[in-house]
Chains A and B, each alone.
Chain A
């Protein structure tokens, strides 16, 4: 039985679970499972055991750092870690050893987590799944022939299989919410500016978000509590008080106003039958529990995607321009060709997209004015085979997540069951800026009323 963070925290606090034994159990799972799913770029078992022993000593002395004390954890390999390589899953940075921790890495360490290593990503959080990089791409923990989505793919696979209890992700167009959906876990992209990006390798500065991924919604709330906060070193960081993210958990959804963005997942990009059933069942559940549920219409997915992708590509090009002009051979084919495409955009394209962004955000805000939470898909369906992912898939069909990178609104993905191939399906709950607590309240209420958390991938045994 793999505990959630909340369960493990209670047992550690009661001294009925040893952080060292918990860490050893995660390391043992990693030893057998990771050669199949490739979630880790680098494991740090010696460091993990040393940190777990220090954690256990604090607990025994009555000096626990709190709910994350002794929790096995790992970071997406774009989060800088002092003295430990941070590669972005790319040959470009394979020898990059930062001198300092990212702000959120430090905050989580100060909260007591035990770090087990660095996790696979798509190259620089954008190019993947790729087979021409120094490390294998992560695979789907429910069926390794399938993809786990990206770019926080290693985090999704490692959490689902219990190699860690929680991990960091980043989300520029859906890179937390996508892998959370296809790996059957929970993940939240907080409001833009809620968590610092200081020390996290950039993809696109005005769309980049950092956030947590974990097995349950409540665990995401616990992790966001530790990650959130103002950081003057990140110019986008919001100086907004951090509420108690678990305060609303257990209080149900009665009176909440929920809008279903039905055209996103039924017309703009029709989803699989199991995904649609999960969303419809969740909407019916929320209505039965006392929420008001109605359909709402936002600007189309195509409009959001055009705006988001132009901004993402233009900003990514500004990050990689110097390296690309010097030597493109260090990049994998996927990222290289996407950056070549980005180089074709003009300053006018970028400014037109930023202008469109304000318009789309204003239209979305007006449409959702009398809603507390929105529901739509997080992914179009079950995970595709990893060897059948189209190179230019992001241009072929609009995704469901980038609209909320464009608006900056928080989005939570959670499992809604299992579909074709017994692979997980998911929904995305969205709220207004800085209303993450509402997402946790509603998401946790749904999650506790359904049985999806009782299952782990067969690889876990």
Chain B
């Protein structure tokens, strides 16, 4: 598992923003594996290689699904 890019202090801020106040031990336990979640966050934002994005004619299309900033 890759180490998290987010610092422990920033992770604590993230938790506070969510309305939680975990103990230092709980915070450390989750922060230690946060790198795996960062990899997943990156994965869902990575378009498939060599595949066109969903077209406007695809089923179940809506702007939130088809829009990408890169396409302008």
Contact = CB atoms under 8 A, between A and B. Distances in A.
B43 A363 contact: no
Q: How large is the interface on A (under 10, 10 to 19, 20 to 34, 35 or more residues)?
A: 20 to 34
Interface stretch (A114-122, A142-150, A333-341): A333-341
A299 B47 CA distance: 12
Given A307-B43, A336-B26, A344-B11, A362 B54 contact: yes
Among B27, B44, B51, find the residue whose CB has the most chain A CB atoms closer than 10 A. Answer: B44
B35 to A, nearest CB: 9
Contacts of B53: 359
Interface stretch (A55-63, A155-163, A350-358): A350-358
Given A344-B34, A358-B60, A310 B54 contact: no
B33 A395 contact: yes
A324 B48 contact: no
A349 interface: yes
B11 to A, nearest CB: 7
Given A363-B51, A392-B33, A340 B43 contact: no
B56 interface: no
B1 to A, nearest CB: 6
B26 A309 contact: no
Contact of B1 (A299, A306, A307, A396): A396
Q: How large is the interface on B (under 10, 10 to 19, 20 to 34, 35 or more residues)?
A: 20 to 34
B36 A395 contact: yes
B53 to A, nearest CB: 8
B64 A337 contact: no
B70 to A, nearest CB: 14
Contacts of B26: 336-337, 340
B59 to A, nearest CB: 8
Contacts of B43: 302-303, 306-307, 356
Nearest to B42: A306
A352 B45 contact: yes
A343 B18 contact: yes
A359 B33 contact: no
Contacts of A363: 48, 51
A341 B48 CA distance: 26
A299 B44 CA distance: 12
A46 to B, nearest CB: 43
A435 interface: no
B48 A344 contact: no
A281 interface: no
Contacts of A356: 43-45
Contacts of A353: 44
A391 B36 CA distance: 13
A298 to B, nearest CB: 12
Contacts of B44: 306-307, 310, 349, 352-353, 355-356
A328 interface: yes
B15 A395 contact: no
Contacts of A341: 30, 33-34, 37
Interface in B15-60: 15, 18-20, 22, 26-27, 29-30, 33-34, 36-37, 39-41, 43-45, 47-48, 51, 53-54, 58, 60
B54 A359 contact: yes
Contacts of B29: 337, 391
Contact of A344 (B1, B18, B39, B60): B18
B15 A309 contact: no
A325 B19 CA distance: 6
A305 interface: yes
A321 interface: yes
Contacts of A358: 54, 58, 60, 65
A391 B29 CA distance: 10
A353 B29 CA distance: 25
Contacts of A395: 1, 33, 36-37
Nearest to B67: A355
Which 5 residue pairs across A and B have the least CB separation, nearest first? A306-B43, A343-B18, A306-B40, A395-B36, A356-B44
Given A344-B37, A351-B64, 16 more contacts: A306-B40, A307-B44, A321-B19, A328-B22, A336-B26, A337-B30, A340-B30, A341-B30, A343-B15, A349-B44, A352-B45, A355-B44, A356-B44, A362-B58, A391-B29, A395-B33
Interface of A: 299, 302-303, 305-307, 309-310, 321, 324-325, 328, 336-337, 340-341, 343-345, 349, 351-356, 358-359, 362-363, 391-392, 395-396
